[in-house]
Structure 1
Amino acid sequence: MALSPEDVIKKSFSATHLRRGYDETQVDDFLDEVVVELRRLLAEQDDLTGQLDDCRSGQYDGGYAGSAAAFAGGASVDEEQLEQVRREREQLVAEIEQLSGQLDSRRAEVDEFEGDAERRVEAARLKASEAESQANEELEGRLQGELLELQQKVESTRGEAEAAEARLAELRQQVSEAEQAVSQAQAQQDVSQAQQGDGSGSGAAAVGAVAAGATVARVPAEDPTKIIELAQRLHDQHVAEGQETKERLISEGDEYRERVVTEADTTAQNLIREGQEKHDELVATGQAEHDKLVNEGQARHDELISTGQGEHDRVVAAASQQRDSLIGEAETKRTNILTDLESRQSSLSGQIEELKTFESDYRTKLRGYLADQMDFLDRNGDGIDDRLQ
């Protein structure tokens, strides 16, 4: 494909979507086209040089050879410059890819730091939950112990109350026996009065022995009224003692129950309050640790992102600026090269035309000279035509 200066000037590249600049493939293809065209021009120059070898004169040949050598040397230098520009562009692309890899690495570090922060927060939550569970278990154990102790105390109080009830029943039985003895004594007194005193001594003694035991036996057998009074006193005394013991035991049981229940309620409230305070403390500590870790992770994340983004922007801006500068220099060099090539092509075309004109004139003059020499030879040097002799 023939490449003209207008094609180079009007050439445009499509912009890329992922990064700034032009499409690398299109730029490479266009540079390849420029190289192909330069090589074609060099080959054409060599061909023209070969065609002109037969008609070169000494002075003209020297000038043309020098021009051709200069042209070939300039084209080689321009191709080396284009190759250097291409290498620099590839180096910039590699540097940008390396920076992108570093940015990805920084982002991976940020993700890893966030994951570590989340794991630490989860560990703090688990620790707070375990502490709360342990506190609840300890509180439940203490409450169970207090409840068991209260139950034992209630059972003990109940046993004492039952013992008091048994004692009261025993006293009541004794009172009942005393009342029976009094009744028997009263009946015996009536019998004695009916018998008019004959068997009163032995009857009274039998009644006293049955009713009051050894105490009644000490009373004279002939006084049944005293026996009745003594039995009544014993009855009243035992009833009063039983009632007093009952009231005392009931009062002591009520006081002990109220005291134990009050102590149990106070202990339970203290344990519940301590457990709640411990729970609130652990929750507050865990939440504070969680907030601290989250804030540190977010600050570190923002710092790394800001640093990485700033470094990325700086490197990309520097690379873009250097790339634009290199592309501008390359385009300028390309324009200069194409302009120089066009100028040299025009010069070569003019030289070729001059050579063709020189060749035509030289051939004409050579034919005339050869014709004159042939005529001279035909005259044998004497100026007379050999055919006329």
Structure 2
Amino acid sequence: MTLTQADVHNVAFSKPPIGKRGYNEDEVDQFLDLVEDTIAQLSEENETLRHQVKTGGGVAGGASAADLEAARKEVAAEYERQLAEANQRAEKAHREAEQARQEAAEATKRAEAAGESSAGKSSGDTESDTTMKAARVLDLANQMAERLTNDAEEEAKKLVDDARSTAKKTIDDAEAKATQLRTEAHRDAERMRTEAKTTSETQLTEARERSDKMLREANQKAARRLTEANEEAERFVNEAHSKIAEADAQAERTVRQATDKANALQADAERKHTEIMATVQKQHQALETRIAELRSFEREYRTRLRAFLEDKLNELSSGNIEDEAQSNS
């Protein structure tokens, strides 16, 4: 049965028989107050540890995943924008080159038409000059178109390379930040595990020390009361012997009374000793039960913490594998 704060607060001890001495009520109340305060303190410390475990581990891991996802989305958007801009410039350059080719072809056609129309009016030298001019115009147009095309392709390649470099740098920074956050999360989890272990060991040590102290005090109190009972019995016996000289009958009666009273006191002292030892044994068993509960809590806490960290590591590993697969596809 688990001992709670309410159990200690509501416990009631039976009164001794009339004429018999029992426990000191003030001492019993002080002991119960001490046990109640101890259980309340242990409950508060356990609640604090549970709160630290719930709120300490998941924050860093979630922040790292969110930051990494946001950084990747930002890089993807920037890469798409720069790639679209490069494609637009390349298409514009191609259009300008095509337009230059068309203008050169039209100029050639006009030159040929002009040469044919003036064939009857001009000499052979004039026709040759016109043909050479048309060829130069076509050559210049082709050179301009080729230059524009090359410039557009180089600019597009440069924009794509810059976008890829920026994306790689941003992703590397995000992964470095995620690694740092994971490292901090592991460090915080290890620190909390160490603190919980230290607190648990401290509580176990304090519980053992309190148990040993109460057991020693109970043994000392029982021994003191037994000694007092023996001394009182011996005193009554001595008084009885001192009255033997007055009258044999009175002496015998007094001796019997003293002996009976001494035996009663001896029996009462032994009974009190037995009751005290039984109470101390119950308290010792209750403390041992509490120690076992703390050990069980420590094992459960370690198991939950290990499972929590493994789940977070698996989530991070699964997220990285899916992101790499998407980037490769």
Counterpart amino acid of 1:154?
A
Counterpart amino acid of 1:351?
R
CA distance in 1, matches of 2:250, 2:170: 105
In the other structure, the counterpart of 2:133 is: 237
In the other structure, the counterpart of 2:216 is: 321
Larger C-alpha radius of gyration, 1 or 2?
1
In the other structure, the counterpart of 2:63 is: 127
Aligned residues of 1:178 and 1:231 also touching (Cα < 8 A)? no
Alignment map for 1:107-118 (pairs within 5 Å):
107-118=46-57
In the other structure, the counterpart of 1:57 is: none
Aligned residues of 2:68 and 2:174 also touching (Cα < 8 A)? yes
CA distance in 2, matches of 1:280, 1:136: 10
User: Structure 1 residues 339 and 348, CA, compared in 2 at 3 Å: closer, same or farther?
Assistant: farther
Task: Give 1:248 shift.
Answer: 0.7
Per-residue CA deviations over 1:4-24 (Å, capped at 9, x if unaligned) read: xxxxxxxxxxxx997xxxxxx
1:351 to 246, 249, 253: 253
In the other structure, the counterpart of 1:100 is: 39
1:174 to 110, 116, 139: 110
Alignment map for 1:1-389 (pairs within 5 Å):
32=16, 35=17, 39=19, 79-80=20-21, 82-84=22-24, 88-89=27-28, 91-118=30-57, 121-122=58-59, 124-178=60-114, 180-181=116-117, 185=119, 207-208=120-121, 216=122, 227-242=123-138, 244-330=139-225, 350-351=252-253
Task: Give 1:168 shift.
Answer: 1.8
CA distance in 1, matches of 2:78, 2:214: 73
User: Equivalent pairs: percent with the same residue?
Assistant: 11
Task: Give 1:91 shift.
Answer: 3.7
In the other structure, the counterpart of 1:383 is: none
User: Structure 1 residues 97 and 349, CA, compared in 2 at 3 Å: closer, same or farther?
Assistant: farther
Per-residue CA deviations over 1:207-234 (Å, capped at 9, x if unaligned) read: 42xxxxxxx4xxxxxxxxxx23322331
Matched residue SS, 2:71: helix
Counterpart amino acid of 1:287?
R
Per-residue CA deviations over 1:156-183 (Å, capped at 9, x if unaligned) read: 212321221221221231243145336x
**158-167 vs 319-328, which deviates more?**
319-328
CA distance in 2, matches of 1:274, 1:141: 15
Task: Give 1:87 shift.
Answer: 5.1
**251-260 vs 86-95, which deviates more?**
86-95
CA distance in 2, matches of 1:161, 1:249: 7
Task: Give 1:353 shift.
Answer: 12
Matched residue SS, 1:265: helix
Aligned residues of 2:101 and 2:145 also touching (Cα < 8 A)? no
Aligned residues of 1:139 and 1:275 also touching (Cα < 8 A)? yes
CA distance in 1, matches of 2:140, 2:34: 105
Counterpart amino acid of 2:152?
R
Counterpart amino acid of 1:278?
D
Task: Give 1:334 shift.
Answer: 6.1
CA distance in 2, matches of 1:17, 1:291: 35
User: Structure 1 residues 176 and 342, CA, compared in 2 at 3 Å: closer, same or farther?
Assistant: farther
Aligned residues of 1:125 and 1:286 also touching (Cα < 8 A)? yes
Counterpart amino acid of 1:262?
K
Per-residue CA deviations over 1:47-82 (Å, capped at 9, x if unaligned) read: xxxxxxxxxxxxxxxxxxxxxxxxxxxxxxxx44x3
Counterpart amino acid of 2:183?
A
Task: Give 1:310 shift.
Answer: 2.1
In the other structure, the counterpart of 1:224 is: none
Counterpart amino acid of 2:126?
L
Counterpart amino acid of 1:268?
A
Q: TM-score, normalised by structure 2?
A: 0.59
CA distance in 2, matches of 1:320, 1:93: 15
Aligned length in residues = 241
Task: Give 1:131 shift.
Answer: 3.0
In the other structure, the counterpart of 2:316 is: none
User: Structure 1 residues 352 and 279, CA, compared in 2 at 3 Å: closer, same or farther?
Assistant: closer
Q: TM-score, normalised by structure 1?
A: 0.51
Task: Give 1:132 shift.
Answer: 2.6
Aligned residues of 2:100 and 2:142 also touching (Cα < 8 A)? no
CA distance in 2, matches of 1:348, 1:256: 139
User: Structure 1 residues 95 and 338, CA, compared in 2 at 3 Å: closer, same or farther?
Assistant: farther
Aligned residues of 1:164 and 1:245 also touching (Cα < 8 A)? no
Counterpart amino acid of 1:109?
T
Counterpart amino acid of 1:303?
T
Q: Cα RMSD (Å) of the superposition?
A: 3.9
User: Structure 1 residues 339 and 145, CA, compared in 2 at 3 Å: closer, same or farther?
Assistant: same
